[in-house]
Amino acid sequence: MDKKQIFIGMLLGFAANTIGLFTVGFLMAKFSGRSDGVFKVLQAAGSENFIGKLISLGAIINLLVFFYCLKKQQDARAAGVLAATVLIALFTFLIKL
């Protein structure tokens, strides 16, 4: 496998998770009934110890990127997205300890 393509896949995985995290934060801010912004929601999630749940929900976007890479027959990139997802899962586990 090409290491460059795996690295690109990992970057795609981290970027997709970041986009997913901000999307979940935006939706929580929108449906909370208050006029909080995304950053206030993420800050509150950090102080109330449920940021791990938001990160996990944000990782759902990685599924879309993973299956897109598989459909385009970019197996090395898909492996990178999978590696990024595993690293995010480990990070989420560690912050819950």
| Helix residue spans in 32-59 (DSSP H) | 38-47, 51-58
Return the pLDDT at 51.
86
Return the pLDDT at 79.
95
Neighbours of 66 (CB within 10 A): 22
In the DSSP assignment, the letter for residue 1 is -
Dist CA 9 CA 38 (whole Å): 26
CB distance 58 to 20 below 8 Å: yes
Percent of the chain with pLDDT over 70: 97
Return the pLDDT at 34.
67
